[in-house]
Amino acid sequence: MKRKIDFEKKIIIWAVVITLIPLVLSYGIFIKSKLSDMNDEIKVTLQNVGNSIAQNPIVQDRLEDGKITGSIQNLTKLYIHDIKNVNIIVVADMKGIKFSHLDPKQIGDVFIGQDKANVLKHGDSYFSIMEGSMGETLRWFQPIYKNGKQVGFVMVGKYYDQITLMNNKTKLNYLLLFIGAVSISIIISKFFAKKVKKEILNMEPDEIAKLYNEKNIILNSVEEGIIGLDKDNNITEINNSCYKIIENFNEKKFIEKLKKYIENKEDFEMKEFIIQGKRVFVSIKYISQGNYHLGAVITLFDNNNINKIAKEITGVDQIIKNLRANVHEYKNNMHVILGLIHIGEYEEAKKFIMKIQEIQENNTNKFSNIGDYYVRALLLSRELVAKERRVNLVLEEEAFLYSKHGIINSYDIVTILGNLIENAFEAMSTEVFVNLFEDENLVIVEVSDNGKPIKKEIRDKIFKSGVSSKGEGRGTGLNLVQSRVELYNGDIEISEFEDKKIFTITMCKGE
């Protein structure tokens, strides 16, 4: 099985390859240029020295008269000593007899190199590579003239092994620089690779791609809408469910609706909003690492799904309450009728039955202005409970409600009214008055009682969850009332008199 190369090694390999390509090309071009320049420099030096000797009057005179006095030898020694690229200088006359040489013993001998032919026969100047008595040499031949007549020549040479050594030294130096550059490239690329790997949590690219695909699948498979925000509160993720929950979902309008919560970095769960005409529940969870804010996750819940569950739960509870009240009332009435029959008071039993029928008809007429059946049912059931608790529950004569209330949900009116009446009962009230009003724009719910006044220490925080004068584990009713009122851009007003307190709830029927 072929072994897979990890991401860190791939980065190093590619970094080195990318570095090597221009480095090798530049190294090859530079070395070639450098060696060429060195060789050209050597040749120029040989030519200049040859030309300088050929123009020297002493050399010309000694070659013309043929006297070997040592003056030419002394002159050439100075050139060899002072000029680094010159190793050997031979001056000879037209017969090839040497007037100077690196080896003084060869002075007076004939120059035997075959490469002297062109300078003697034709007076040419040229370069030659030849094996001489001192080894292989790069030679420059220069004719020497006096008064227009050639009197000899000069050969200026550089040992070829020294040229090769210089070239190799240059190559070695640049090779070391090349190796150094590659080593630095490997070290830097390794450091960079480790940094990149750390940034991606030591994961491989295929693992990141897999996670990304899995994330998208998960995001788009859940029914709840999910929106991700970065540290600057810009949307980075949004799943398809957002567009299913809110038709024609508009990101800007959504964020604008939650702007104050987002700017204050305020966490909350299951808070209800009306966004683009749609009732939804929203939760916001902020993400941080230490003191560093990373962003937030917003979860969007369809109100219809939540209400479906809530109806099942609260509906059963309400039915049980109503059944208990009705059964109790029924039992009491039946006991009275049975007792009258048992003692033979048949006429009284008949009158009692007629009285019960009259009460039922009066109750029906009493709530005839309440067009909302849910609210009417609540008032009927609360009236039975009030009788049990010996509380006089009164619906004001002018009370009025339509069957539908625009964007306001009947269940929310039931929640508000039910909690306010229950609180009035628990405040040891003997009288509770309920008034309801509705027009094209508003729904107003008013509940007053003569029960215990609100304690001063909890008056300012009575609507907070968990705050109650009724003991531990209570204090959710008024908090629920406040959340419903806020949902409809409403207002809560509490008025207190000597023996009476009034809760007035105002809600808007439009968004």
Q: Is residue 160 part of a domain?
A: yes
Distance CA 105, CA 96 (A): 16
Q: Are residues 150 and 253 in the same domain?
A: no
Query: Taking the C-alpha atoms of 344, 347, 352 and 354 in order, what is their torsion angle to the nearest 10 degrees?
Result: 150
As a whole number, mean pLDDT of residues 315-344 equals 65
| Displacement of CA 338 from its chain's centroid (Å) | 78
Instruction: Judge residue 342's burial from the number of C-beta atoms within 10 Å of its C-beta, 0-12 exposed, 13-18 middle, 19 or more buried.
Output: exposed
Q: Is residue 101 part of a domain?
A: yes
**130: β partners:** 137
**83: pLDDT strictly greater than 60:** yes
- Which of 137, 165, 193 is a domain's end point? 165
As a whole number, mean pLDDT of residues 200-208 equals 72
As a whole number, mean pLDDT of residues 417-445 equals 92
Edge to edge, the sheet with strand 268-275 lists 235-238, 225-229, 292-302, 278-289, 268-275
Q: 153 near 116, Cβ under 8 Å?
A: yes
Q: Are residues 158 and 227 in the same domain?
A: no
Q: Is residue 318 part of a domain?
A: no
Residue 328: predicted pLDDT: 63
Q: Is residue 473 part of a domain?
A: yes
Q: Is residue 171 part of a domain?
A: no
Q: Are residues 395 and 487 in the same domain?
A: yes
Q: Are residues 42 and 154 in the same domain?
A: yes
Give the pLDDT band (50/70/90) at residue 510: confident
Edge to edge, the sheet with strand 501-508 lists 392-395, 431-438, 442-449, 501-508, 491-496
**100: pLDDT strictly greater than 80:** yes
Q: Is 66 helix (H, G, I), strand (E, B) or coil?
A: coil
CA distance readout (Å), 35 to 161, 168, 179? 14, 9, 19
Give the pLDDT band (50/70/90) at residue 472: very low
Q: Is residue 242 part of a domain?
A: yes
Residues contacting 321, CB < 8 A, separation 6+ = 381, 385
Q: Are residues 285 and 371 in the same domain?
A: no
Q: What is the phi/psi pair of residue 21, to 5°?
A: -55, -55
As a whole number, mean pLDDT of residues 2-20 equals 73
Q: Is residue 102 part of a domain?
A: yes
Distance CA 140, CA 127 (A): 5
Q: Is residue 487 part of a domain?
A: yes
Tally of domains within the chain:
3
Q: Give residue-wise pLDDT tens across range 251-292.
A: 888 888 888 888 888 788 888 888 888 888 899 998 887 778
| Displacement of CA 268 from its chain's centroid (Å) | 24
Q: Give residue-wise pLDDT tens across range 125-143.
A: 999 987 766 567 889 999 9
Residue 319: predicted pLDDT: 44
Q: Which amino acid is at 9?
A: K
Residue 461: HSE in the Cβ half-sphere, 13 Å Cα cutoff: 9
Give the pLDDT band (50/70/90) at residue 415: confident
- The token pair that represents 364 in the structure block: 């029906």
CATH number at residue 395: 3.30.565.10
Q: Are residues 74 and 143 in the same domain?
A: yes
Q: Are residues 234 and 130 in the same domain?
A: no
- In which domain, by residue range, is 388 found? 367-511
Q: Are residues 142 and 279 in the same domain?
A: no
Residue 163: predicted pLDDT: 64
Q: Are residues 139 and 276 in the same domain?
A: no
* Other CB atoms within 10 Å distance of the CB of residue 75: 19
- Which of 165, 198, 232 is a domain's end point? 165
Q: Which amino acid is at 243?
A: Y
**135-144, 374-383, 431-440, 460-469 — which one is most confidently predicted on average?**
431-440
Q: Are residues 147 and 31 in the same domain?
A: yes
Phi-psi region of 268 (alpha: psi -120 to 50; beta: other; left: phi over 0): beta
User: Chain-wide mean pLDDT for the chain?
Assistant: 81
Distance CA 416, CA 488 (A): 12
CATH number at residue 65: 3.30.450.20
